[in-house]
Structure 1
Amino acid sequence: MGTAMPFDADTTLLPQVRAAVESAGRTLRDRSTTDARGVSLDEIVEEIHANDDAVLDVVREPLLRARPGSRWAEDELAGGALPPGEWWVVDPAEGNINHVHAMPDWAVTATLVRDNQPVLTVVHLPLTGDTYTAVAGGGARLNDRPLKVSAKTDLAAALVGTGQARPGEDKDTFRRIGDSVTALLTAGLVVRVSVPATLQLIHVAAGRMDAFWQFSDVRSGLVAGALLVAEAGGTVTDLAGAPWSAGSRDFLAAAPGLHAAALDILSPLA
C-alpha cells in the first residue's frame, strides 16, 4: 500500500479530516437512543437513511474543501475499482444497523483513496471518544498511541472474524461465509461473525483480534481497516494472496505470523 504523493501532504491533511469526522460523530451520537428504532423493514431502512443524511450534511463539504480536486464516492455499498485520482470513501454510520437497534458497535469513517489505494483514514467511535488514524507510511494510531498487530504464529490460538458486507448478499456468498466459519472454527480458537467490518478491523490493527476476512468488495467497509492494519504491521491481501486494493474481489487482513495459515484455509473457498 504505497502513496504516489508526498507523505507530508497527507500528514498535514490529517488534523482537518479528524476534526470533520469527530464533528460528524457528535451528530451521530446525538441521534443514538437506548431503544431500538423501527419494527418493519421499511421503518428500519428509513432510520438508516436518516442517519446517513444527517451525518453527510456535516462531513461532506469539509472533506471536499480540505482536499481540492478530490471526488466523492457516492454509494457506500459499492465495490470495485474507482477511476484514477483521489476519492473520499466515507461511511457516515459504519454499523448503522447496530445504531438503529441501540447497540454500541458503530462509527464514522473517512478514507482518502488515491488510485485505488487508501492513503489516509480516520475512524471515530462517538460513544467512547476513541479515534483511530493512519497515513500511508506513517503508522497507525489510537488516540495518538501507536498500534501494532498481534504477534501470534499459531492459528489454533487465534481470535478471528468475518461477516456479511451488505444486506441481501447472494446465496453463493452466504455459502462461502458459512463454509469459512466452519473451517476456521475447526482451525482457530474463536470466530466472531458480526458487522461492521471496520469495527473488527480496528481490533486486528490493535492486536486484539488476529485476522479478518470477507467474501465481498464493499469498499467503504474495508478501506479504513485495510490501511490501519497495514500501517500497524499486518498483512492485507485478497484471498488469492495478491496485494489488496479497492478493486479486489475479496479480502484478508491478518497478523503476519498467521496470514499464510489463514490463506491456506480460505483461498479454496473463495
Structure 2
Amino acid sequence: MGAPKAHANDVVSDVDIASEQLIVDGVHGAWPDDAMQAEEGHGRSGGSGWTWIVDPLDGTRNYVSRTGPWSVCIALYQGDSPRMAVVHDPAAGETFSAVDGGGALLNGEPIRVSGGPPLAEALIGVSFQPNPATKARAGRLLRELLPLSGDIRRIPAALNLVYQAAGRLDGGLALDTKLWDIAAGALIAREAGVTLGGHGPDYTTELTIGAGPSLWPELSARVRAADL
C-alpha cells in the first residue's frame, strides 16, 4: 500500500496505479484524441468531445484490508453527458454495464431497480469519504436515518449505485465523492430505473441520493432535511 493522498484514510495501493495505467494505455491506444479524467492522476485533454472517467479501484481500503467489496469503474462522456458505463467487480465475477437509453445489464442480463418497500423496511446503502469533516456529516445523517430505515450498509459509491440498479439495495446516498466515484454507477442506476438527485433535482458529488420511484419521495425528503 502506498502513502495517503488527501488525508490519512485516503489510501492508494500499487494496484490502483497499475490498474489505471493499464486502462489509460488501452484507451489512449484505441482513441488517442479522447480526453481522460482518472483518479490517480492520468488526466489529459482531447479534441474529440469524448471524455473517459476512470476509477481504477473504487474501495481501496476494502481491497487492501480484505474486508469488503471493491470494483473498477469506467464511464464515457460526450460533452457533459454520460453515454456508456461499466462497473466490474472481479472478486464476485460481476460486470454491471449500461449504454445511454439502452437499459442496464449485469453479466449481459437486464436488471431493474427494487419495487421499493417503505423506508421502515428498506435496505439503504451509504457511501462517504473517510475524512474528518465528511465523517462528521455522515454521522449526523445516520443518527437521523438509521432509526427510520430497515437497515443500512456502508459500501463504496459505485457498488452502492449498481446494487440499487440490481434491486439489492432499495436506496442509497453518497457524500462528498469525486466524479470518478459515481459517474459509471450513476448511469447504470439511472438506466435501471433508479431515481437520482441531490439537494436539487440533479445528483452531485456533494450529495447523491438514489431510490426506486416509490421510496424516493420519503428517502430524499428525510436526507435533505437532515443534511443541513
Distance change in 2, residues 1:257/1:199 (3 Å): same
Paired AA for residue 218 in structure 2: A
- Structure 2 CA distance for aligned equivalents of residues 228 and 204 of structure 1: 9
User: In structure 2, the residue corresponding to 1:103 is in which secondary structure?
Assistant: coil
Query: Is the counterpart of residue 221 in structure 1 residue 181 in structure 2?
Result: yes
Supply the distance in 1 between the matched residues of 2:123 and 2:191 (Cα, whole angstroms): 20
User: Identity, % of aligned pairs?
Assistant: 31
Change (3 A) 1:67 1:229: same
Once residues 254 and 109 of structure 1 are traced to their aligned partners in structure 2, the CA distance between those partners, rounded to angstroms, is 21
Structure 2 stretches lacking a partner, 5+ long: 42-47
Whichever structure has more helix as a proportion of its residues is 1
The equivalences for 1:171-182 within 5 A come to 173-182=134-143
- Does the Cα contact within 8 Å between 1:76 and 1:220 map onto a contact in 2? no
**Distance in structure 2 (CA, Å) of the matches to 1:93 and 1:127:** 12
Cα RMSD after superposing both structures:
2.7
What's the CA shift string for 1:152-171, capped at 9, x where partnerless? 14111100021223x4252x
Distance in structure 1 (CA, Å) of the matches to 2:125 and 2:159: 11
Match of 2:25 among 40, 61, 65: 61
Residues matched between the structures, number: 219
- Distance in 2 (CA, whole Å) between partners of 1:216 and 1:243 is 15
Does the 8 A contact of 2:59 with 2:69 survive in 1?
yes
Q: Are 2:218 and 1:261 equivalent residues in the alignment?
A: yes
Shift of 1:105: 0.8
Matched, 1:159 2:123: yes
Query: In structure 2, how many angstroms separate the alpha carbons of the residues matched to 1:142 and 1:231?
Result: 12
For normalisation by structure 2, the TM-score amounts to 0.85
Q: Using the TM superposition, give the Cα deviation of residue 147 of structure 1 relative to its aligned residue in structure 2, in angstroms.
A: 0.7
1:91 is the counterpart of 2:55: yes
Amino acid at match of 1:159: L
Structure 1: 4+ residue segments shifted above 6 A: 44-47
Greater strand proportion: 2
How far is the alpha carbon of 1:261 from its aligned partner? Answer: 0.6
Within a 5 Å distance, the mapping from 1:1-270 to structure 2 comes to 48-75=12-39, 85-165=49-129, 167-170=130-133, 173-194=134-155, 196-240=156-200, 242-244=201-203, 249-268=206-225, 269-270=227-228
How far did 1:146 drift?
0.3
